[in-house]
Amino acid sequence: MELMWRTSHVSGGNAHYVEALYEQYLVDPNAVPDEWRNYFDQLPRPEGSSSHDVPLSPIRDQFYQLGKSRRRAQTASAADSGENKKQVKVLQLINAYRFRGHQKADIDPLDLRSPVPVPDLDLSFHQLTNADLDTEFQTGSFFLGKDKAPLKEIVQALDETYCRSIGCEIMHIVDTEEKRWLQQRFESVRSKPKFSPEVRKHVLERLSAAEGLENYLASKYPGTKRFGLEGGETFVPMMDEIIQRAGGYGTKEVVIGMAHRGRLNLLVNILGKSPSELIEEFDGKKVIERGSGDVKYHQGFSSNVMTPGGEVHLALAFNPSHLEIVAPVVEGSVRARQDRRDDPAGDKVLPINVHGDAAFAGQGVVMETFQMSQTRAYKTGGTVHIVINNQVGFTTSHPDDTRSTEYCTDIAKMVQAPIFHVNGDDPDAVLHATQVAIDYRQQFKRDVVIDLVCYRRRGHNEADEPSGTQPMMYSKIKNHPSARALYAKRLVEEGVLSEDDAKAMGETYRDDLMAGNHVANALVKQPNTELFVDWGPYLGHEWTGDADTTFDMKRMQQLAAKMCEVPDGVQVQRQVAKIYEDRRKMQAGGMGLNWGFAETLAYATLLDQGHPVRITGQDSGRGTFSHRHAVVHNQKDGSTYVPLENIKEGQPRFTIHDSYLSEEAVLAFEYGYATTMPNALIVWEAQFGDFFNGAQVVVDQFISSGETKWGRLCGLTMLLPHGYEGQGPEHSSARLERFLQLCAEHNMQVCVPTTPAQIFHLLRRQVIRPLRKPLVVMSPKSLLRHKEATSTLEELAHGKFQMVLPDQGKLDAEKVKRVVLCAGKVYYDLAAYRTENERDDTAILRLEQLYPFPKEELFEALKDYTNLEQVVWCQEEPLNQGAWYQSQHHMRVVADMLDNGLGRELKFAGRPASAAPAAGYMSVHVEQQRQLVDDAFNA
């Protein structure tokens, strides 16, 4: 009831208005709008009561009291009733401004916004006239500083608050406390607080810096692409304010994501990148030791700045051209930092995501990122979103083309984020909106959006002529003074500083720039390195597939027992109990170890050795195929118990979450997390392997290439269920070929483990080795329960991940004429065929790692077969898919090392080339599978 009262639209700020309406309704139900009449009609009444009597809830109680007083009032004079009616109208007018004032606000510096009619803001709409302007009315919940005021004053205050340089959208917020808080922040100062001369001079100085850098680069490198900020310079004082204010709140780290526009300006003027370094990049002098590198407007950066609350570490995320995808990466990085600091509320680390207007409205990942903002697995205590809204996306600006929503920010309403549209030419207003935004985030730990409405003085980039496609916009821009010029003029007029002082600011900045001095005035020259992680131990390692992943048997037994323990009070569901029971038998040595056991034990051992483990993905608590059951659901009360959280006292964090149904944002988040938390095992699991299709951009632009482009190491593990089991074109293939096609320069590992011991050692290798490389695992489905796919505790304790599994049969090497190479579950079909057909002339080798290709290990496994005549690659996937096209050259090289020309003879056994990943009919699947196994032995 309390919640209903706090959040209901008939409560809080709206209560006076609703009460007044209700009064009207009691007198004449037809006098109120239909929806309100319907609403009031529905209010339940206790038995025996007559209409409108004795309601039940507090609001209804109020209505009851109102009703009684109304009945008394019915006897009062007609004049009184007329006054009351007007009072209702005034309250309606106040509400109308709160709802729709932004539509009339002066937020566009170019004044290009087509005016929309907002009749609700006219007096006449509310049956008020100029004759009422001098009459005093109650101000209701409007924060005017007094209970009563003449209508004239109320209207003026409303207009100043809601229709000037800030257009506030807050009425979609359901929570009354939040809404009242926001209303108070704007209404009490009429959206225009009085900033001190020092503050305003500082803003002008930062504006001069923003403009100064662009002017300098424009004159020195005309026509060179830099995606300048011109037109949106107020962004720089805005960022400065957010960081300083956040620092004042005790924030220790700020992670920023942004696309290319304005990035150089942010780098130099806020993060403190050295201007001389930037100039080197412009001059093309910068050389890199390794990797491809990336263009300057994609570069990330890290630095520390001083704030009123102490030193704050800033990290600007590296960013590909794919717009908006960096936003969830930033969230992941922030969450990793919050986890490291044990900061679940998000007090210590702040995410800022900077967007372009066109991309914010257009890209689906924006919605996915908002959707994650309050979920258990992904929340970061609220993000400050800034839209650099230059009202054009490359060459597209016609409102009928860019979006269907009214504003480019409307998507943010889905999480009830407050949205402040603010005129970029009014730095005071920008400062106010910024302060409210950061205060709101700190107070309510929710997302907030600042829509910085500005323009783009040049084309999409500096080599681009914009007037060809935007003639009207650019004829306006040509004659439009810069934000700095306008603000300087205003401050001079208001006597804040002299014209000479204003000019000097620009000159000082330019001198510093030319001297190569740092121009971010808060930069800390000797940064406190404790504010961020030391990646030193993980840097500079060459590729190796080896790692000591063995584990003490006795301790492993103890951990195995622990991971099977469920407290007495937890009533375990029947099938789950059976799985746990089986695991206990495995631990006791009475049963071969299965996949679920080995995988869970890998996590337990890593936790025991001090490595945090985080697993998220679709249904990963249970596992798509019910093999994991890492989260036990108490059948009595729905509570959960996670054995891996209870391995030992003081153990590292174990996190497992079912993700919401996203791939793109979620995988990007985990990439961000893994690139920030090097000592942990970070796993993303797809429900079926092909679900990663929805996140291809993350694989292409971050996972496979982030290290070579940006030197950012990443140890993320992707578990992608893969295997041909007759379930149709969808969900059979995790598109192995796509990953292999992206492989080069040892950028990532692609593995297809086929035994429990192999997944145990593979997962452990990922963390135990200091090397940090993404790991793509084609993980099993039916193999999870295959009776042949078992391992022993000894193999776990004493083994290692074998990149090539040699033949498991007891063959006489000299008799072997044929070797079948394969990867994945087809091995078990091949092995069954061999047993059934007694083919001791054929060895079967499993490539458990396809990239980096284990040439030496494969050679080792082949070299004893001295009478070999045929090497066959067998795969379940069609000819044009799987590993064949991407890996055959590696296999040929190894077969050639045998020095008998076998490499050139390498044969293929698999499904015929196919446009779809798999057949849709079980009968076709079965026949294809039989044929490819047969081909492997006989073709």
* Residue 349 vs 453, nearer CB to ligand AMP: 349
* Residue 260 vs 712, nearer CB to ligand AMP: 712
- The least distance separating ligand AMP from the CB of residue 772, rounded to whole angstroms, comes to 7
Does position 849 interact with ligand AMP (CB under 6 A)? The reply is: no
Does position 335 interact with ligand AMP (CB under 6 A)? The reply is: no
* Residue 283 vs 534, nearer CB to ligand AMP: 534
* Residue 308 vs 540, nearer CB to ligand AMP: 540
- Count of residues that bind ligand AMP according to CB under 6 A: 8
Among the listed ranges 21-29, 392-400, 434-442, 709-717, the one in contact with ligand AMP (CB under 6 A) is 709-717
Does position 441 interact with ligand AMP (CB under 6 A)? The reply is: no
Does position 315 interact with ligand AMP (CB under 6 A)? The reply is: yes
- The least distance separating ligand AMP from the CB of residue 568, rounded to whole angstroms, comes to 44
Candidates 790, 787, 721; CA nearest to 755 is 790
* Residue 331 vs 877, nearer CB to ligand AMP: 331
Pairwise CA distance, residues 319 & 709, whole Å = 10
Q: Looking at beta carbons, which residue is closest to ligand AMP?
A: 302
- The least distance separating ligand AMP from the CB of residue 714, rounded to whole angstroms, comes to 6
Candidates 855, 878, 856, 868; CA nearest to 813 is 868
Among the listed ranges 159-167, 283-291, 649-657, 711-719, the one in contact with ligand AMP (CB under 6 A) is 711-719
- The least distance separating ligand AMP from the CB of residue 712, rounded to whole angstroms, comes to 4
* Residue 130 vs 529, nearer CB to ligand AMP: 529
Among the listed ranges 185-193, 434-442, 578-586, 710-718, the one in contact with ligand AMP (CB under 6 A) is 710-718
- The least distance separating ligand AMP from the CB of residue 718, rounded to whole angstroms, comes to 17
* Residue 186 vs 532, nearer CB to ligand AMP: 532
The dihedrals phi and psi of 506, each to the nearest 5 degrees, come to: -65, -40
Among the listed ranges 340-348, 707-715, 832-840, 882-890, the one in contact with ligand AMP (CB under 6 A) is 707-715
Output the CA angle 834-835-837, nearest 5 degrees. 65
- The least distance separating ligand AMP from the CB of residue 206, rounded to whole angstroms, comes to 22
> How many residues can be counted in the chain?
939
Does position 383 interact with ligand AMP (CB under 6 A)? The reply is: no
Q: Other C-beta atoms within 10 Å of 394: how many?
A: 14
Does position 675 interact with ligand AMP (CB under 6 A)? The reply is: yes
Residue type, 449: V
Does position 318 interact with ligand AMP (CB under 6 A)? The reply is: no
Does position 740 interact with ligand AMP (CB under 6 A)? The reply is: no
* Residue 55 vs 678, nearer CB to ligand AMP: 678
- The least distance separating ligand AMP from the CB of residue 675, rounded to whole angstroms, comes to 4
Pairwise CA distance, residues 28 & 580, whole Å = 68
- The least distance separating ligand AMP from the CB of residue 332, rounded to whole angstroms, comes to 12
Pairwise CA distance, residues 147 & 163, whole Å = 22
Query: Residue 720: is it exposed, middle or buried by C-beta count within 10 angstroms (0-12/13-18/19+)?
Result: buried
* Residue 512 vs 700, nearer CB to ligand AMP: 700
DSSP H helix total and E strand total for the chain: 32, 24
- The least distance separating ligand AMP from the CB of residue 325, rounded to whole angstroms, comes to 17
Instruction: Match 């992707």 to its residue by tokens.
Output: 718
* Residue 358 vs 714, nearer CB to ligand AMP: 714
- The least distance separating ligand AMP from the CB of residue 356, rounded to whole angstroms, comes to 23
Q: Which of residues 902-931 bind ligand AMP (CB under 6 A)?
A: none
* Residue 387 vs 681, nearer CB to ligand AMP: 681
Does position 86 interact with ligand AMP (CB under 6 A)? The reply is: no
Pairwise CA distance, residues 238 & 702, whole Å = 29
- The least distance separating ligand AMP from the CB of residue 566, rounded to whole angstroms, comes to 37
- The least distance separating ligand AMP from the CB of residue 346, rounded to whole angstroms, comes to 16
- The least distance separating ligand AMP from the CB of residue 763, rounded to whole angstroms, comes to 20
- The least distance separating ligand AMP from the CB of residue 305, rounded to whole angstroms, comes to 12
* Residue 532 vs 595, nearer CB to ligand AMP: 532
In order of 256, 259, 407, 698, the CA distances from 357 in angstroms are: 17, 11, 9, 22
Q: Other C-beta atoms within 10 Å of 89: how many?
A: 19
Pairwise CA distance, residues 584 & 593, whole Å = 10
Binder of ligand AMP out of 713, 740, 768, 918 (CB under 6 A): 713
* Residue 620 vs 675, nearer CB to ligand AMP: 675
What is the C-alpha R_g of the chain? 33
Beta bridge partners of 616: 657, 684
Among the listed ranges 234-242, 708-716, 834-842, 858-866, the one in contact with ligand AMP (CB under 6 A) is 708-716
Residue type, 828: Y
Candidates 269, 281, 271; CA nearest to 226 is 281
Under a CB-based contact definition with an 8 Å cutoff, are residues 183 and 143 in contact? yes
Pairwise CA distance, residues 176 & 889, whole Å = 65
- The least distance separating ligand AMP from the CB of residue 288, rounded to whole angstroms, comes to 14
Strand 253-258, strand 349-356: pairing = parallel
In order of 166, 327, 382, the CA distances from 355 in angstroms are: 19, 9, 16
At a CB cut-off of 8 Å and minimum separation 6, what does 679 contact?
610, 611, 612, 767
Q: Which of residues 287-306 bind ligand AMP (CB under 6 A)?
A: 302
* Residue 206 vs 712, nearer CB to ligand AMP: 712
- The least distance separating ligand AMP from the CB of residue 779, rounded to whole angstroms, comes to 25
* Structure tokens belonging to residue 901: 């020309």
At a CB cut-off of 8 Å and minimum separation 6, what does 417 contact?
370, 385, 446, 447, 448, 449
Candidates 346, 2, 339; CA nearest to 177 is 2
Residue type, 125: F
Among the listed ranges 2-10, 211-219, 712-720, 864-872, the one in contact with ligand AMP (CB under 6 A) is 712-720
C-alpha torsion angle, residues 239, 243, 246, 252 (rounded to 10): 150
Binder of ligand AMP out of 532, 603, 654, 671 (CB under 6 A): 532
- The least distance separating ligand AMP from the CB of residue 548, rounded to whole angstroms, comes to 23
Does position 274 interact with ligand AMP (CB under 6 A)? The reply is: no
* Residue 199 vs 533, nearer CB to ligand AMP: 533
Does position 712 interact with ligand AMP (CB under 6 A)? The reply is: yes
* Structure tokens belonging to residue 111: 């004044």
Output the CA angle 374-101-242, nearest 5 degrees. 45
Candidates 140, 174, 201; CA nearest to 6 is 174
- The least distance separating ligand AMP from the CB of residue 316, rounded to whole angstroms, comes to 8
Decide: helix, strand or coil at residue 661: coil
Binder of ligand AMP out of 5, 39, 249, 535 (CB under 6 A): 535
Does position 859 interact with ligand AMP (CB under 6 A)? The reply is: no
* Residue 713 vs 823, nearer CB to ligand AMP: 713
SS (H, E, C) 325-386: CHHHHHHHHHHHHHHHCCCCCCCCEEEEEEEEHHHHHHCHHHHHHHHHCCCCCCCCCCCEEE
Candidates 198, 275, 825, 847; CA nearest to 519 is 275
Residue type, 605: T
Strand 717-721, strand 749-751: pairing = unpaired
- Supply the DSSP symbol for 703: I
Residues near ligand AMP (CB under 6 A) are: 302, 315, 532, 535, 675, 712-714
